[in-house]
Amino acid sequence: MKSIVSKLGHQNHKRIALLVAAAFAASAISFAGSSAVSSAAAQSAAQTAAQAATENISSARNTPAVRAAKMVGPAVVGITNKAVARDWFDNPVETEGVGSGVIFKSDGYIVTNNHVINGAKELIVSLSDGRTMRGKVIGADEVTDLAVVKIDAKDLPTAEFADSDQIVVGEPAIAIGNPMGLEFKGSVTSGVVSALNRTLDNSDSRVKLLQTDAAINPGNSGGALVNADGEVIGINSVKLAASGVEGMGFAIPSNTVQSVIKELMDKGYVARPYLGVSVFDPETAARFGYSLDIDKGVYIFKLVLGGPSDKAGLQRGDIILKADGEEVNSVSDLRAKVSAHKVGDTITLTIDRNDHERTVDVTLDEMPQDKKR
């Protein structure tokens, strides 16, 4: 069975026949944490409106999905990405894709996926009340696949974010977004939280994702995954597409979203720590045609001159066995250990050099913006 992990992304529409629209960027994902907040007044107004809208229906009909739709639905927007791609003859071709977003501040700040806005020449934001406005990218992060967009508006309805550390498997999960484009804007589907802390094997992901069986489709990217209390628990991002597979969607947890939002608004990018080394484990070495004869740890094959590891005295050929006392047996293990730290932290590495173990403390610098790891 051949499986594909696809971005829920936007629904792409080709403007010129016989030309293939460019795919919007897929992204690797990574850890981050923090907090964005909605306007208390706007949130209170949304809750009041939701309560009023559901007062006249029976308790049997007033389900979590109904309450979520009333509370969060007005804060979910459509985002149209107008971009320029190249056809088979390298001629410029206008393309258009539609995704979703969630308003988190009443003065026009919206969180969405990076792949929804990536490469945009122009962004058009469609509000739930029918208005459309131009959007401006405040910041984007390819690693977590998140971005913040700003529109010139005030007193907008906002969504409240839950503490995703408190999510339990089996609780209701409601997806709100624009599947297949604006023709179906504000669509609501429901399911449960199927699993926590998922990673996708064919991505370079360092983010733990929520898994849900709520139906999500192209165009849902950047939309809200909501709990029974009407709080956003995640931003929908990808789904597993395979023959015979149904109901496997994934969302970026709200705590990660809030953390990234804060940094994007403060700096326009997410500051991450890095070691300044390139490493192989046997599996990754094999992908590049090398045979690596080690039974544990990861092998350093390159260091950044003047980088953190270089300054700490690490050398090419060293084998990193442990980080902060815990075993490291793969590239992803090492990335996870580094990602758990902040810029300026010290990480303690146990290395093997010429069959002798030693411990080295490395002070983590901020990853240069032109590097991916």
Supply the residues annotated as catalytic.
115, 145, 221
Q: How far apart are CA 146 and CA 110, in angstroms?
A: 11
223 CA to centre of own chain: 11
Torsion sign (Cα): 348, 302, 141, 20: negative
Neighbours of 357 (CB within 10 A): 11
**What are the tokens at 99?**
């995704």
**What are the tokens at 151?**
């529109």
The 3-state secondary structure of 28-93 reads CCCCCCCCCCCCHHHHHHHHHHHHHHHCCCCCCCCCHHHHHHHHHHHHEEEEEEEEEEECCCCCEE
CA distances from residue 78 to 7, 119, 176, 218, 339 in whole angstroms, order as listed? 16, 17, 11, 12, 32
Q: How far apart are CA 71 and CA 292, in angstroms?
A: 55
